[in-house]
Amino acid sequence: MEHTNNTIRNLILAWRNLWRNPGRTAALIAAIAIGLWAGVMTVGLVNGMYEQRIDYVIRSDLGHLQIHHPDFLAERDLELGLPEVGKVKHYLEGADGVEGFSERTYADGMFRSARNSSGVRIHGIVPETETKVTNLGEMVVAGVMPDPAAPVRNPMLLGQVLAEEHGVDLGHRVVLTFEDLSGEILSASFTVTGFYKSRSKDMDKMNLYVLSEDLRRLLGREDLAHEVVVRLEDPVTTNSFTGVMQAQFPDLSVQSWDQLSPEIKMMIDYGGVSLVLIMVIIMLALSFGILNTMLMSLFERKREFGMLISIGMSRSRVFWMMMSESVVLTLVGSAIGMGLAFLAISYYSVHGLSLAAFAEGLAKIGWDSLVFPFVTIGDFATISVIVIGMTLLSSLYPALKAFRIHPLEASKDL
């Protein structure tokens, strides 16, 4: 109890000593608060961008996991369809935790209109199941998705960017040229029934969607499926469910979204390290301010410390007095900065932070211009450790100088 009371008294004394020079103390507290606010907001912003990127990749195309022929992704050979697609679908229908799944058929070819030609990837989909695993239906900005009941032959969903480049409108007929399973080059006429728009203009130029049954018929095999994409009820179970599926179908390739898109996984992993470095750099800059403030305080009070030591105060007490002032200074600035950051993130996590000034550049790489930042408890813990560590290091040198003060030399200097 006595030790606790002494600690409280020391902190109160440290707080009073800091305000001997109110201008300098207030300026440093403001600098610490602004620096921490900026650091925490940066962490929250990057977290939000990464989270939205992962969600976008999963909801727009990859799902939580995909199943292929072991060599399909490497070779993109049309003949490398799933040999057990019926068994896979039957297993997924009875599996717990599966929100939905859909099969896809692919072909690469040329999109030809009256104006131009473009290389495209043709996605053969089953609309009823595709909308359960991706948000393709939500991306439709005009017309409708391909529908087996549509009164037109070979309906197609086209990227709005590609349609504008080719001068294509709803109801227009275009020609797709691609190779069938026998190696023959064929051309087929499709009717544009809808336009979609995603976050990535490059993807909109490359990908178009037709009915899987139409594409299979043209390729020459009615049961051809190159891919089964799966969406889970709980994303946390992705890795475990992927392992279960791989064990159930050892002759197939079962991969989670981060295995299918390793660049995003690597970006997130390195991003965590980068955020720590950002906070270290911010606190390093603030540490010089703390160091300068404490050295100035020591210079101004050198005679006072010498007198205290000469009348019996222990050097360790002087040492901890300086350390306490640094800690109190940082804690106050950090509390203000963390509080401001918490309020800002709480607001923007609901309403979103607009990056409209960079919208065009972000759209080219598939990033959203409206970000919902967030900070985890782990982030706050990491930031707190960095703040405490850098504060102790920056205040160590002034405290040691105070510890080594000789009373007689101190009285001569001033």
Confidence of residue 283 (pLDDT cuts 50, 70, 90): confident
With a cut of 60, say whether residue 126 has pLDDT above it: yes
The region, left, alpha or beta by phi > 0 then psi within -120 to 50, assigned to residue 6 is: alpha
At residue 408 the predicted structure's pLDDT band, cuts being 50, 70 and 90, is low
Could you identify the residue written with the tokens 């950090």?
334
pLDDT at 395: 80
With cut-offs at 50, 70 and 90, classify the pLDDT of residue 6. low
What does the pLDDT read at residue 186? Answer: 92
Kindly report the length of the chain.
414
Structure pTM? Answer: 0.73
Specify the pLDDT at position 284.
Answer: 82
* pLDDT for the residue 155: 94
What pLDDT does residue 325 have? Answer: 81
412: confidence class by pLDDT, cuts 50, 70, 90:
low
Q: Tens digit of pLDDT for each residue in 16-72?
A: 877 778 888 888 888 888 888 888 888 888 888 888 888 888 888 889 999 999 999
Lowest-confidence range among 199-213, 292-306, 371-385?
Answer: 292-306
Q: What is the pLDDT of residue 287?
A: 80
In sequence order, what DSSP letters do the residues of 185-197 get, joined into one string?
EEEEEEEEEEEE-
Who has greater pLDDT, 350 or 291? 350
261: CB partners within 8 A, 6+ apart: 57, 62
What is the arithmetic mean of pLDDT over 296-323? 76
pLDDT of residue 61: 87
Two tokens at 220? 């020459």
- Please give the pLDDT value at position 230: 95
pLDDT exceeds 70 at position 286: yes
Element (H, E) at 362: helix 359-364
Three-state SS string across 229-268, please? EEEECCHHHHHHHHHHHHHHCCCCEEEEHHHHCHHHHHHH
Mean pLDDT of 302-307: 74
Q: Of the ranges 139-148, 237-246, 362-371, which one carries the lowest mean pLDDT score? A: 362-371
Q: Token pair of 369, please?
A: 């211009």
Q: What is residue 364's predicted lDDT score, i.e. its pLDDT?
A: 65
Q: CA 326, CA 291: separation in Å to the nearest integer? A: 9
Choice between 386 and 191, residue whose per-residue pLDDT is larger: 191
Question: Does the pLDDT of residue 359 top 90, yes or no?
Answer: no
pLDDT single digits (tens) 213-258: 999 999 999 889 999 999 999 989 999 999 999 999 999 999 999 8
Helix-strand-coil split of the chain, %, nearest 5 = 60, 20, 20
More confident call, 240 vs 13: 240
Query: Average pLDDT, whole number, for the chain?
Result: 85
Q: In which residue are the tokens 């799933």 written? A: 82
What percent of the chain clears pLDDT 90, i.e. is strictly above it? 37
Range of weakest confidence among 8-12, 57-61, 89-93, 406-410: 406-410
Burial class for 383, CB neighbours closer than 10 Å (0-12, 13-18, 19+): buried
The 3-state secondary structure of 284-345 reads: HHHHHHHHHHHHHHHHHCHHHHHHHHHCCCCHHHHHHHHHHHHHHHHHHHHHHHHHHHHHHH
Task: Please name the residues in contact with 223: beta carbons below 8 A apart, sequence gap of 6 or more.
Answer: 81, 85, 216
Residue 110 reports pLDDT greater than 60 = yes
Q: Which two tokens stand for residue 11?
A: 């902190």
Rounded to an integer, what distance in angstroms lies between the CA atom of residue 165 and that of residue 118?
Answer: 10
> What's the rounded Cα separation, in Å, for the pair 212 and 198?
21
| pLDDT at 414 exceeding the cut of 60 | no
Mean predicted confidence (pLDDT) in 357-372: 74
Q: Give the pLDDT score at 248.
A: 93
Residue among 261, 192, 219, 264 nearest 107 (CA): 219
